[in-house]
Structure formats: C-alpha cells, structure tokens
Amino acid sequence: MYNTKLNNKNTIRFGAVAQQLGYKLNNNFFDEHSGEWKSFLNSKGDAQYYQAYAQWKHRMTENLTFVSGLHGSYFALNGSYSIEPRVAATYTSGKNTYSLATGLHSKPEHLSTYMYQSKKQGQADTYPNKDLGLLKAYHAVAGYERQLPWNMRFKTEVYYQYLYNIPVEKDSTGGFSIINALDIYSLFNTQQLVSEGTGQNYGIDFSLERSFSNSYYVLATASLYKSTYTDYPGDEYNTTFNRGYQVNILGGKEFSIGRSGRKILGLNGKVLYSGGMRESPIDINSSIQSGETVYVPKQYFTRRVPAYFRTDLGVYYKIKNKRVTHSIQLEVQNITNRQNFYYSYFDREAASVKTVNQLGIFPNLSYRIDF
C-alpha cells in the first residue's frame, strides 16, 4: 500500500493484495437411503485471488470530506473478475456527523463450492460449479452519529443492498440459492449452479455506546431489516436469515479490591434477542413416498421458527503486577438454559417431522498470563 498527502486537502492511496489459497478438500458420508458410501469433495490444489485499489480523499471544507475510489478483483481459479467504483462523503457539524456511501462490491464463494463434485453412475466426476462468477452487490448506506453526555455515542444507519450474480440451482422447481447455504451439505443433491440469482437486504440499525470509563461500559444495538432472494425462474422468497429484527445488549463493570488497586473483580453480561430464522415446510406425504426430506414446492422459507433468546454472563479476577498480569475468567453462555430452535427434519422411521433444539448451558473456564 502506498499513501501520500498531496496537500492539506488531498490524499491519495494505491494498493494491491495477492492471496494464495491452498486447499485439500475431502468429505465422505454414508447415504442411508442408498446404503452406500458417497463423496462429494475430493480435491487438492491452490488458487489465487488478486485485488487492487486506488483512492482519493478530498477535504472540501473544514467539515465536509469526500472519498472516491476504484477497486478491482480477479479470481484466477476460473478467470472471473470485477471492477467496482465507490464513493462516500462525511459532514461534521458540532457533535453531529452525517455520512453517505455507495458503491459496488464483490467476493468469491468458498472454495468447496467450486470444487463440489457431481457423481453420476457410469460417468466421470465433474465440477459443475467451477465456473461460477464472483458474487456481486450494490451497497448504499446513509448514517447519522451524535456524541452524547456521559461519554456516550448514538449512531444509526439506513442501508440497502442489491445482490446479483448469485449462484442458484439451474432448476425451475429447485428454489436453491447459495445465499441460504449454511455449509457444504447444503449443496448435497443440488444440480449445477449458475450465477443468475439476485437478492435484497435493507433495513435500519441503531446503536447506543458508552466506551469503557469510570470502570464500566455499555453497548446496545437494535436492527429492523428484511432479506429476500430470487431463484432460477426469478421467483422471490424470504432468505433463511430474514429474522426481521434483532436486539443485543452488553455491558460490564470492574471493581477494585484492596487498597493497592492491583486486584480487580470484573463482571460482563450479554443479552441477545431476535426473530426466528426461516425454513421451508416439509411435504410429509412426498417425503414418505421418497424416503427422504421433500419440501413443499414454491413455499421456500415461508415458515418462521420461534424467536431466539440467549443470556451470557462472565466473571473474571485479575491481579496486576509490575511485569505480569494474571487473569482467571469464567464464562457461561445461555445462563437461562433456553432450548433455542435449531432445525427441522423428516424422520424416515417415524414418518414424521421432528425438531432439533440447540444445547443449553456452555461453561468455559480460562486462565491467562500477560507480560
């Protein structure tokens, strides 16, 4: 990266990033339906991802700053590339800051998506997804920030994202989009993916923050949003992540023990609450006939699961010496032992849909020495 200040108003920056991505992918599993072992990942190699950028920062006035730039990406595995202009402006007036930014962005998919293998009886293994292009998006964000008394800060942002060049299954009835993939198993039983899908994310975020001072801190955030996607035929559905809302509150405080001030007892807490994720309803009759999970066609991610709630607590004891600091910390996740919804599946033996919940309390005890 090269950065230079031309004068009091203008700064330019140029840079490049080169990444060498090595991979060794292997996955075998036993398919109970067919009664045989199968593999859909078995490859080894490397790929390169190159990025270059140029940026110009211009301070128009004492309060107004303008930034423009150009970013380029090249994915050597399949030769896909992207050229992305970006622009942003910030205006400060007293304790108020206003911002506006827009531009194009892109990224490659996980390497396992490109190296996913399609195995058909009597045919050689193929890599149907190897030529997928970069995932691309147009972003627009407007923000407002204000400094408040008691060392606090309020911030809000309104955003819109239009996603395009998104891999979707080349099937008029499949409804699959890589947007909803949670891991490599999400690709199992999918046909070839093509970069013809789209998506939209838009909403508003709020945050109220008090930085650590006077031995305590507080951070509260809230989001209202919507997330949708289109499949190969162009039909629009909720994404699995379309929770609708999310609230996070965390804070902590330290207490000095003894006159020396070298011994500290600290407490931390966090509360998370959000709308439930989306899942596709399972067609029980079709699943019974086929012996595996079959979703109701054209009703993808229409079912909202129960809301998510979790409370975490932590306590730590710290001893400060001249050359070393000792800390012992205990963290407990999900202190209320709430069994949050995880996923639903079709149980072939019971011929019914069953639900799996996440596990309850997660304790973690750690000891740390800082020199």
Domain boundaries, the chain: 247-371
Q: How do residues 193-229 score in pLDDT, each as one tens digit?
A: 999 999 999 999 999 999 998 899 999 999 999 999 9
Find tokens 């965390």 and name the residue.
Answer: 250
Average pLDDT, stretch 235-261?
94
Separation of alpha carbons 302 and 128, rounded Å: 29
| Nearest CA-CA partner of 302 in 276, 284, 273 | 276
C-alpha angle with apex 237: 236 to 241, nearest 5 degrees? 135
Residue 292 — pLDDT band, cuts 50, 70, 90? Answer: confident
Average pLDDT, stretch 17-34?
88
Tell me how far CA of residue 116 lies from CA of 88, 201, 223, 366, in angstroms: 38, 27, 35, 39
Separation of alpha carbons 3 and 329, rounded Å: 42
Strand bridging mode 96-107 / 152-169: unpaired
The tokens describing 74, both together, are 């090249």
1 and 15 in contact (C-beta within 8 Å)? Answer: yes
Burial class (CB in 10 A: 0-12, 13-18, 19+), 238: buried
Tell me what pLDDT residue 252 has.
Answer: 97
What pTM was computed for the model?
0.89
SS3 26: strand
Q: How do residues 118-177 score in pLDDT, each as one tens digit?
A: 765 545 568 999 999 999 999 999 999 999 998 999 999 999 999 999 999 998 888 999
Question: E-strand spans in the chain?
Answer: 2-5, 10-31, 36-59, 64-75, 80-93, 96-107, 135-148, 152-169, 193-213, 216-230, 236-238, 245-257, 263-274, 278-279, 303-304, 308-320, 325-333, 341-347, 352-357, 362-370
